[in-house]
Amino acid sequence: MRTQLKIPAALAAAALALTGLTACGGSSSGSAADAKDGKIKIMVGGLDKVIYLPARLTQQLGYFKAEGVDVTLLTEPAGVQATTSLISGDVQGVVGFYDHTLDLQAKGKQVESVVQLAHAPGEVEVVGTKAASGITSPKDFKGKKLGVTGLGSSTDFLTKYLAVKNGVRTEDIHPVAVGAGQTFLSALEQGSIDAGMTTDPTVAQVVDKKIGKVLLDMRTPEGSRQALGGLYPSSSLYMNTDWVNSHKDTVRKLAKAFVRTLQWMSTHTPEEIAAKMPSDYAQGGKELYAQAIKDTLPMFTKDGVMPADGPATVERVLKAFNPNLQHATIDLDKTYTTEFVKK
């Protein structure tokens, strides 16, 4: 398992090298975070993941430019690394899972979601063909190697919750960081993991290649309620609260651009959405990519507004297994704002 854990670390290092990021001494008040050059950098926890599709689509549709903001989109293989970039001051925003705002508050960092892109996780637990007979539900997770994008990522959070909810202790499962896309597919096919949590378009390729099957589907609000007991706000644009408060005009423009994209998505077909995206995102082919978008579309909001009961569900899920949050008092009102999307 040690060998497998080194792979995503190398991927993360490569991603950082490709994007040309440098550490800013661990301070969120560095020059990059102040955006003195007028440019906004947003780190995405996987630009080609359908769950984060609104980020690239907003750029493709020209809405950032139309609202007068100069946005550079960067990518990391997992949301936990994207969060590190925000806290260190390398970027001004992250398109990643809302649950990180609660985890960070417990660690003394104040971060908030300013646009809630999704009200369901969009995640799917798949089980490899070889292990399918021994894993029919999360009750069978004990002793199994379970793939996640990164340790400390939202897939890691949700995997641990599903285990605990089904009577399996977190110390009895073996999370393995395998990223997404080809690295996830290879790990599942080779048996490096027995099952794993991932998103489209990886899910569509798992099924199409017949290397695994869907065990648990959280791509819809109904699937979220069934697995997690309520709506689970996930993909969002979150930023350091201090930065938001001192750059409200910029945040308002970003919010308007993202909401325009969400509205556009709600009135166009999966095929029309796919046609707007970079061609290399459809690695399994155009039809499979369009199907992946169709399967994932129900997770997205149409207005960027946080669902009323969503934050409480996320808090309950995280406190079920996360020792950092179990005894912490979280001020949920400080983990998100609707000020910008409602305007």
The SS3 of residue 261 is helix
Q: How far apart are CA 29 and CA 25, in angstroms?
A: 10
Element containing residue 212 per DSSP (H, E): strand 212-218
Among 38-42, 80-84, 155-159, the range scoring the smallest mean pLDDT is 80-84
Residue with the bigger pLDDT between 132 and 7: it is: 132
The SS3 of residue 103 is helix
CATH code given to domain 123-228:
3.40.190.10
Q: How far apart are CA 7 and CA 174, in angstroms?
A: 16
Q: What is the amino acid identity at position 108?
A: G
- pLDDT at position 76 is 85
Average pLDDT, integer, range 212-224? 97
- pLDDT at position 152 is 87
Residue with the bigger pLDDT between 258 and 9: it is: 258
17 pLDDT band (50/70/90 cuts)? very low
Q: What is the amino acid identity at position 66?
A: A
The length of the chain in residues reads 343
What share of residues in the chain are helix, strand, coil (percent, to 5)?
50, 15, 35
What are the residue ranges spanned by the domains of the chain?
2-120+232-334, 123-228
Count the alpha carbons within 13 Å of 113 in the hemisphere toward its beta carbon: 30
Report pTM. Answer: 0.86
Average pLDDT, integer, range 299-317? 97
Q: Bridge-partner residues for 217, per DSSP?
A: 124
CATH code given to domain 2-120+232-334:
3.40.190.10
Mean of per-residue pLDDT scores for the chain? 89
28 pLDDT band (50/70/90 cuts)? very low
- pLDDT at position 31 is 37
Residue with the bigger pLDDT between 193 and 19: it is: 193
Q: Quick one: 1 exposed, middle or buried, by C-beta within 10 A (0-12, 13-18, 19+)? A: exposed
Q: Which tens digits make up the pLDDT trace of 182-217?
A: 999 999 999 999 999 999 999 999 999 999 999 999
273 pLDDT band (50/70/90 cuts)? very high
Q: Which tens digits make up the pLDDT trace of 81-110?
A: 788 889 999 999 999 999 999 999 999 999
